Structure 1
């Protein structure tokens, strides 16, 4: 039986693409294990999947000054030694890394043990962890066409980002029923990210009277951001966070407003959902969402609105325009060359497994 070790952590975005590969890996008979940190978000997600989980030490990789920058390198070194011993004991055929600070010790340890590594980069410009890991990787899977020129060497390949199969199996009928929508108005889904966006939430709620004339609205507003005063508002349903219901909710949507993280926009592409992207500004990020959104806008998959341009009236105008031209966006997404990322990545794993 072939064995694969998955790694990646620090955020759900560095873990969930790994889960998209798990069903296919199981079909192929792989023994699947995971290396992560003791308290990282990846631990609960992976252990809930009944996947064997190994713990290593890892320091956070920072671009800014912090006193921990003087101590965390020693945590990374400790993590490399721990990962070397785990890989030496488990003898995997291959390692798959989704990035995040925990992945660096694992990738280096795999290289030392002469185990091939396939890595995946979600954003157009590689994150710090993947930049450090790149020299030790056999292949790096790129999500965007623009990513290829930003990955040094010739070991990159365009795959897109892997999408969980269950997301594609959702039911529009079940989604509408879950929300209590009993009319034929189109469904507008708003996704503000796992933490939500106060600015987007407030702008949407300030626009509710106009929006509800034409749309049923599902608002995923982030933990702690529910507005109890709107609980009984007909046609408006809010969630702080959804998991198992998400495939049905996303399939019920006719158009979507979303942040521009790589995972969510590729989910929208896979589901062929016309969307308005409001990327995180450079004030609160390294600007990767702005680049992601620009790529999707250029390809004709998305309409883009910058956060500093967002007002209630601008939002209403863009939503009207998006819905009116929805078929054009759907046609562009159907013609996308970036499809079946799971299949492409699995083929690379099979090709390079020792």
Structure 2
């Protein structure tokens, strides 16, 4: 039986693509293990899947002055030793890394043991952790065509991001019933996210009176962001967070308003959902969402609105424009080479594992 070690963590976005790969890896007969930080979010998320988990020491690589810059390199070195000892004992055929700072000691330790590594970069430009891993990686999976020029040509592969298969298996009727919506009025799905979504939430709620004239709105607004004054508004349903039923909400949605995080927009692409993207402004991020959104707009997958430019009338006009031209966006997404990421990444993993075995 072939063995694979998955790694990645720090945020859910560095873990969920690994989770999306689990069914395919299990079907292919891999023995799977996960290496993450001692108590990071990855440990909590992986616990649901009965995958053996090993924690290592990790530190953050900062581009700015911070007292921890003096101590974190020692944590990373400790993590490298811990990862190397674990990998030497476990002897995997391949390592797959989704990034985040915990992945650096794992990938570098694997390379020192001549274990092939496949890494995945979600954003347009590689983050610092992946930049440290690219030199020793066998292949680098990318979400965007524009990223390819930042990666050595013999390593870069346009794959898209692995999406959980169950997201495509939702029931529109179940979604309508859960929200108390009717089947004869189109549905807007709003994904604000749990962080940095206050402005998206406000823009949608300010536009609600006009939006509800022609649409129903289901709003995933984030933890503690329910507006109690709008609880009984007909045609408007709010949720802080949805897990198991998310597939039904997607199935019900005709169009989507979303932030432009890489995993979120790759889900929209895989599900072929026409969308308006409102990326986090550069002041609130390293600018990756702006680049992600620009790429999707250039490929014909999305309409992009800058947060600072949004007015009620502009948002309402763009929603109508998107809805009436929705088939054009579906057609563009249907031609994408980034939709079957699990299949493409599995081919890379199998190729690397076979090379190690032989």
TM-score range, shorter chain: over 0.9
Q: 2 CA distance for matches of 1:248 and 1:195?
A: 23
CA distance in 2, matches of 1:215, 1:8: 39
Q: Deviation per CA, 1:294-339, whole angstroms, max 9, x where unpaired?
A: 1110110000001111121211111111111111111111121222
1:148–1:157 contact (8 Å) kept in structure 2: yes
Q: Equivalents in 2 of 1:156, 1:265: separation in Å?
A: 20
Instruction: Please say if 1:262 is aligned against 2:290.
Output: no
Q: Which residue of 1 aligns with 2:251?
A: 251
1:20 aligns with: 20
The 3 A distance-change label for structure 1 pair 9 and 2 is: same
Structure 1 residue runs of 5 or longer lacking an equivalent are none
Partner of 2:305: 305
Counterpart of 2:326 in structure 1 is 326
Q: Deviations over 1:137-191 (max 9, x none)?
A: 1111111111100113521111111111011111111111111112411000000
Matches within 5 A, 1:25-64: 25-64=25-64
Moved more, 249-258 or 60-69: 60-69
Deviation at 1:196, TM superposition (A): 5.2
Deviation by residue 1:71-129 (Cα, 9 ceiling, x = unmatched): 10000000000000000111101000000000000001101111000000001100110
- Work out whether residues 33 and 51 of structure 2, in 8 Å CA contact, stay in contact via their aligned partners in 1: yes
Q: Secondary structure at the match of 1:163?
A: coil
Write the distance in 1 (CA, Å) between the matches of 2:275 and 2:204.
15
**1:80 is aligned to 2:80:** yes
Q: CA deviation at 1:195?
A: 2.3
Counterpart-to-counterpart distance in 1, 2:308 and 2:48: 39
Moved more, 154-163 or 114-123: 154-163
The answer (yes or no) to whether the contact 1:196–1:221 under 8 Å persists in 2 is: no
In structure 2, runs of 5+ residues without a counterpart are none
CA deviations over 1:249-290 (Å, ceiling 9, x no partner): 011100000001111111111111110000010000011111
> Partner residue of 1:317?
317
**Partner residue in 2 for 1:210:** 210
Residue 69, structure 1, aligned to residue 69, structure 2:
yes
Whether contact under 8 Å (1:196, 1:220) holds in the other structure is no
Match of 1:291 in 2: 291
Contact 1:121 1:141 in 2 (8 A): yes
Deviation at 1:63, TM superposition (A): 1.8
Q: Is the 8 A contact 2:176 2:183 kept in 1?
A: no
* Aligned equivalent of 2:101: 101
Q: Distance in 1 between matches of 2:134 and 2:153?
A: 9
- With over 3 angstroms needed to count, the CA separation of the structure-2 counterparts of 1:20 and 1:106, relative to structure 1, is same
1:243 Cα deviation after fit: 1.0
Does the 8 Å CA contact 2:39/2:55 hold for their aligned counterparts?
no
Instruction: Give the Cα–Cα distance (whole angstroms) in 1 for the partners of residues 143 and 27 of structure 2.
Output: 24
The Cα of 1:352 is off from its aligned counterpart by 0.7
TM-score by length of structure 1 reads: 0.98
SS for the counterpart of 2:65 is: coil
Q: Which moved more, 1:327-336 or 1:152-161?
A: 152-161
Residue in 2 that maps onto 1:172:
172
Counterpart of 2:343 in 1: which secondary structure?
A: helix
User: 1:153 & 1:63 partners in 2: Cα distance?
Assistant: 27
Q: What secondary structure is seen at the aligned counterpart in 1 of 2:234? A: coil
> Does structure 1 conserve the Cα–Cα contact (< 8 Å) formed by 2:36 and 2:56?
yes
Superposed counterparts of 1:180-191, under 5 Å: 180-191=180-191
Q: Deviation of residue 204 (structure 1)?
A: 1.0
Question: Runs of 4 or more off by more than 6 Å in structure 1?
Answer: none
1:120-199 equivalences under 5 Å are 120-152=120-152, 154-195=154-195, 197-199=197-199
- Measure the CA separation in 1 of the matches of 2:271 and 2:51: 28
Do the aligned residues in 1 keep the contact of 2:159 with 2:337 (CA within 8 Å)?
no
Distance 1:190 1:242 in 2: 12
Match of 1:235 in 2: 235
